[in-house]
Structure 1
């Protein structure tokens, strides 16, 4: 289908002050499965936000751009802000720039690097470091004072699962040329687990994104899963929830649900995927295992994800929670900075 009508709607949404995620939801509601992909929507939203007026494609010479213009820097910044799990290859494809140019913009212009598979600021502010120290200190103290604390934590997050996943550094030999092409076939997975294993997971319908309303429904499903799978924890009513700071998790409707159900939330410092079990444990391991599957449909992606989740054993989750406690200690020892072994070149 021609995407000019979609681009016009994106341009209109930008004029109304809609975010890229809000704009994507509008497109998906209007066009369903024929809607523009999330990545292209974000690219055009960024372009219109920077003042572009034309709805037409730029002429392509066949060679990616190598220019680090202010416009290119701003466009990439907007894309990363919307999805910090994108790889350099994916961003380069989205904006038609070379890998080296995107890498230079991310590291030199935007001062970003990867921690636990997410782009984060290369240099944290003093306030951000102090917040990381405080959260880790508080959680360490709770774990020391209460032997049941770790067993009462339920943690979870969302992730896009594609019909392939970009190679991890362990999987990709340095001398081999990248040979994968990104597919639009994908499904968003939400997973919650505790020290014993997966408690609840579900896939978000294609035409939806995770906003506060949808997240509240997911949380209600999670509560029912806890009631059925962890009856003792449910009877005591002392389980606590850990998740990151996305807007859906902080929304007013979500906060009302927490208040009405007396749900206690464990604090999570901003820009800290190294302190989130989903980011440093579950999702990287899922990504690795999904390499063995070749999926062509959303249903196949979801079935493969289910099979991969079933491969994790209780001791895997126990080790992850032990590692989580060790990371609190390492964060404090590093004075709130990202600690050795978790970051890396991108």
Structure 2
């Protein structure tokens, strides 16, 4: 209250109406799995461990023989990825993990490649519900050619080489 006994005006924080969290698993041939976190659910180690099992099953179903040849797996060092249950689940998949330096968005394809392009393509669109948003996201991935995803992964290889030559310093472009 101020001196006159009046309440100060309320301040409102502007935020988006909906926020959706999803994880996608992809390889050089395209998207293997997209999982949308259900509203009211927290992404934790157990949830992520279940996703890893689903990702393994997607590889088995969509990329016959790839597990036998070996799967290299890249993820950042988020706490959900380093949780004990997640680490065990990753071992259970049989995937070989690629080391990812902490706090390195320049080495995360989602950050430098997928999401930036997805944002550009969906900019200005409004979705009436979550299903419409999911359909828009998935259609963006569906119409991408194999070369699009492969180009992003090749950029990852180039970025890793730069990171090594710069001894871990941040890469702008």
TM-score bracket relative to the smaller structure? 0.7 to 0.9
Superposition RMSD in Å: 2.1
- Distance across 1 between alignment mates of 2:10 and 2:146: 53
**2:103 aligned with 1:274, yes or no?**
no
CA apart distance, 1:238: 1.4
- Distance across 1 between alignment mates of 2:138 and 2:117: 13
Q: Could you tell me the TM-score, scaled by structure 1's length?
A: 0.45
**2:53 aligned with 1:208, yes or no?**
no
Match of 1:148 in 2: none
- Distance across 1 between alignment mates of 2:40 and 2:147: 36
**Partners of 2:109 and 2:156 within 8 A in 1:** yes
Task: Please list, as runs of the form range in 1=range in 2, the aligned pairs for 1:1-346 lying within 5 A after superposition.
Answer: 59-60=8-9, 94=13, 182-234=15-67, 236=68, 238-291=70-123, 293-339=125-171, 341-342=172-173
CA apart distance, 1:210: 1.1
CA apart distance, 1:298: 1.6
CA apart distance, 1:274: 0.2
- Distance across 2 between alignment mates of 1:219 and 1:269: 21
CA apart distance, 1:184: 2.0
- Distance across 2 between alignment mates of 1:248 and 1:61: 37
CA apart distance, 1:262: 3.3
CA apart distance, 1:186: 2.5
Match of 2:4 in 1: none
**Partners of 1:185 and 1:296 within 8 A in 2:** no
Q: Which stretch shows the higher mean deviation, 302-311 or 221-230?
A: 302-311
**Partners of 2:30 and 2:146 within 8 A in 1:** yes
Q: Could you tell me the TM-score, scaled by structure 2's length?
A: 0.86
- Distance across 2 between alignment mates of 1:334 and 1:256: 32
SS of 1:202's equivalent in the other structure is strand
SS of 2:144's equivalent in the other structure is coil
**Partners of 1:187 and 1:301 within 8 A in 2:** no
CA apart distance, 1:237: 5.4
CA apart distance, 1:259: 3.0
Q: Which runs of 5+ in 1 are unaligned?
A: 1-57, 63-92, 95-180
Write out per-residue CA displacement over residues 135-183 of structure 1, whole angstroms, 9 at most, x where no aligned residue: xxxxxxxxxxxxxxxxxxxxxxxxxxxxxxxxxxxxxxxxxxxxxx642
Write out per-residue CA displacement over residues 6-52 of structure 1, whole angstroms, 9 at most, x where no aligned residue: xxxxxxxxxxxxxxxxxxxxxxxxxxxxxxxxxxxxxxxxxxxxxxx
